[in-house]
Chain A
Amino acid sequence: MSESSTATPRVVVIALSYKLSGRVRNYIEDLIGAGVRVDLLVLENKTLEDAEFGPLVNARPVFEREMYGLPLRWVERKLVFDVPSQLFGKARSLTRKGKRLALLDRTALAVRRRQTKVSKKFHEKLFWPMFKQARPLLLISASRKQALAFDIGNADRIVAADPAALPLAWRIAKRYPHVYATKALDRKPWIN
């Protein structure tokens, strides 16, 4: 795999974890310190908070917020937390009125507590582990367009900076077989 010989080298870094790890930040800082331009694809606007890389980094988020970009997460939150919360809120606004409904109100409160526990358990034990597995795949279609907006064909390297970025980066690498693509945060040949 030969690397392009353009005057200013350019690396496309794909990092789709919720936060940029220190390792990835250091990598990007080292690259720009060596005069390498970096096209950086991150997950959401929040990922770039307190990251000031300067003009050599062209950063682009996939989503404003992942919650709204991936409907599955939004739907789960609505169905499991928001809708029951609204329903119980409505019910209790009625049962709280008057002493005669006190028993009903206590029952509604108990059911509400139970529902909160079950919803949390469902989210943590079932939905989230499955979503974590599926997330990198869901991100492929959601982020492919943004990634391809970078001039990847003329880049010197594609870097999958974290495990979440791997499925997308692998597919892009297949599309551009002449561009060196790696999951190693290797600084060579720009920094020895």
Chain B
Amino acid sequence: MTSGSVKPPRLLYIAFYFPPSRASGVYRARATANHFAAAGWDVTVFAAPLRFLYQVIGSVDEKLSETVDPRIKVERPELDLSRWENELHNLSWLSATFPESAKKLRQWREDRYFPEVYASWARDSVAKALRMHKTEKFDVVLATGNPFAAFAAAWEINKKTGVPYVVDYRDSWTLDLFNDEPAFPPEHSAWRWEKQIIGGASATVFVNNALLAWHADRYPRSADRMHVVPNGWDPDLLTVSVGDDAAQPDRPLRFGFLGTITSKQPVVEMAEAFRQAREHPELHDAELNIHGHLGFFKQSHDVFLPLLGLNANGDPDPESDHGLRLRGPVSKTEVAGVYEHNDVLVFLAAGGKYVTSGKIFEYMAAGKPIVSVHAPDIAAREVLEGYPLWFTADSLDPGQVAKSMLDAGRAARALTPQQRAEAVAYADRFQRDKLLAPLEKVIRGLAGRPVPESESVNE
């Protein structure tokens, strides 16, 4: 809470995905904005237009908006939605009469500014920021990507106003995390943009050490301004109680995956491993509950159903049923129930040595056995290795994953309160506010004026 006559410093936080979006990166953005507001900052967030969230990607969680600090002002700069426009009544004469030419023209206009489909949003963000800055000055701009047009907006605001900016690589931009290779050819304009953005940033933030090292190697002059802020978990959204007892041997064990299933994840390996694990008498009636969406878009659902042994309605297909159950999407405010219900959590993740995944922190906070289904050299190792209830095959071979599923199931049956308390204690160090505190300190140093007395942000 601000106090006295000291005016709080103003933070402009450019975060396209912000509640009610339910995009995977939205929790970091929500926590960051809340953290700064609680630390005494006057926070303005630039977020995606609601029409984009509701009508284009159809990916919203309205309950999440209720968890945003009411002191935060949310502005929604405009985004040119014509590329996603399907309704004929809303099409312009040009788009309806010469669709190909209209598409090329739009592409040209976007590329002229920034090589991303969200360029128009960034351009409007800059215009809006300059208008607001005229009325009352911003002290620092913090931008989170993706989309990385947010970085371009922060860079341009800095060019026009001198306000220092910080970029938060919540996601990777020029590094393809799934192939561990550059994401663009050498002549692509993304490289030029990244060089000037990182070069001009007062600080650059990554989610793990591997990503920081990769970028430091490319931009050594900026390396001393690079920081790591891991994704953590949000205690205000997650209080997990013990749940019913897995020690009762007559109750089938429940394995659970929570998150979005994507084509990059080893879904087939997971399904096959679980099928093999169920051949063992201890797991013969076990089920693997999938809580979440199948794919990021409304249309992507059907592709995954056969891979999971489910029919078109998402029900078990008697011919190929291996205990996988589709439980559907869960609001972030309801995930605690999912962790309570399941005895073993399945960490299904895509990618390799640069991928941490935000989900793993919540998994650890639940204090239950975690079984890994991902490439063995994943960056998430650096946080999982200290977790006492982690079971990994260090392989994607279904036979070996099945064995670690069996071990995790046995651990769940025999779990003592002491073991659980140790696991939860380890996870507590990854509470989001604890991880964000050093970043707030760095940005406070850039603001150039003191932050008024604030409430404790760790409460």
Q: Which residues of B contact A (CB under 8 A)?
A: 86-89, 91, 96-101
Contacts and interface: CB of A to CB of B under 8 A. Distances in A.
A145 to B, nearest CB: 19
Contacts of A184: 86
A170 interface: yes
Interface in A151-184: 158, 160, 163, 166-167, 169-171, 173-174, 177, 180-184
A167 B96 contact: yes
B294 to A, nearest CB: 14
A90 to B, nearest CB: 42
Given A133-B98, A184-B86, 11 more contacts: A1-B87, A163-B100, A166-B91, A170-B91, A170-B96, A170-B97, A173-B89, A177-B89, A180-B87, A182-B87, A186-B86
Contacts of A183: 86, 88
Contacts of A137: 97
15 contacts: A133-B98, A133-B101, A136-B97, A136-B99, A137-B97, A160-B88, A163-B100, A166-B88, A166-B99, A167-B96, A170-B96, A171-B96, A183-B86, A183-B88, A186-B86
Contacts of A173: 88-89
A158 B91 CA distance: 14
Interface in A48-64: none
B100 A158 contact: no
Contacts of A1: 87, 89
A182 B88 contact: yes
Nearest to A170: B96
A59 B330 CA distance: 44
B301 to A, nearest CB: 10
Nearest to B92: A170
A163 B87 CA distance: 14
A170 B100 contact: no
Nearest to B313: A192
A133 B96 CA distance: 13
Contacts of B98: 133
Nearest to B93: A170
Contacts of A163: 99-100
A122 B20 CA distance: 55
A169 B96 CA distance: 9
Contacts of B97: 136-137, 167, 170
B96 A181 contact: no
B293 to A, nearest CB: 15
A71 to B, nearest CB: 21
Contacts of B101: 133
A38 B87 CA distance: 19
A173 B100 CA distance: 20
A22 B100 CA distance: 22
